[in-house]
Amino acid sequence: MRIWKTEVNLEKIYERCRNTMIDYIGIELVEIGDDYLKGRMPVDHRTKQRIGILHGGASAVLAETLGSIAASLCVDPETKRIVGLEINANHIRPVTAGYVTGIARPLHIGSTTQVWEIHISDDRDKLVCVSRLTIANIDKGKIQGAS
C-alpha cells in the first residue's frame, strides 16, 4: 500500500539536500517503493572512525536522513514539517570499505508522530545497524527559518 502523501521524485528530493551533510558525506537516495526509502553511503575517509571502521555516528546520520526524508513525504508540505524527536542505533558488525545501504520503513504514521525503522547492510547484504527514529509532525509555522 502506497503511504506517500506528496510527490515522490528522488532527483527533486536530492536537489534539496545539496550543500548539506547528506551531500558532504556522499549519501545517495537510490530507490523508493510504495512503503520504503532506500539510500546508500560510502565507507570512506568521511564516514570512518580513527581505527578504520564505519563510524556509528555516520550510520545514525544515514538512518536519520532516510527516516526523515521518508517521514516528510507522509505529511502535507504546505501545512506540516517534520523534526526528529529521538533516534537510536544498534551497531551489529563493523564495515571497513565499500558502501552501506539503508532501508527505512514505517512502524507508525500518525497525525502528530511517526516511528521509522531503518536497517543498514553492507555490500554482502549483512546487517550492520538497526535504527529506530521517532519524528514529530509539527505545524509549518512553528519552525523559524525552515523552508
The residues that bridge with 27 in the sheet, in sequence order, are: none
Active site residue 28: no
Q: Which pLDDT score is estimated for 28?
A: 96
Give all domains of the chain, ordered by start, each with its CATH number: 10-142 (3.10.129.10)
Query: What residue type is assigned to position 79 of the chain?
Result: T
pTM: 0.93
- The model's confidence at residue 140, banded by pLDDT at 50, 70 and 90, is confident
**Average pLDDT for 68-82:** 95
DSSP code for 140: G
Q: Which pLDDT score is estimated for 145?
A: 58
Q: Are 71 and 114 in contact (CB under 8 A)?
A: yes
CA distance 66 to 70: 6
Q: Which of 28, 64, 78, 117 is catalytic?
A: 64
For residue 4, pLDDT beyond 80: yes
Q: Which pLDDT score is estimated for 82?
A: 94
- Spell out the residues 6+ positions from residue 7 whose beta carbon is closer than 8 angstroms to its own: none
For residue 144, pLDDT beyond 80: no
pLDDT in tens, 39-67: 999 999 999 999 999 999 999 999 999 99
Query: DSSP string of 62-74?
Result: HHHHHHHHHHHTT
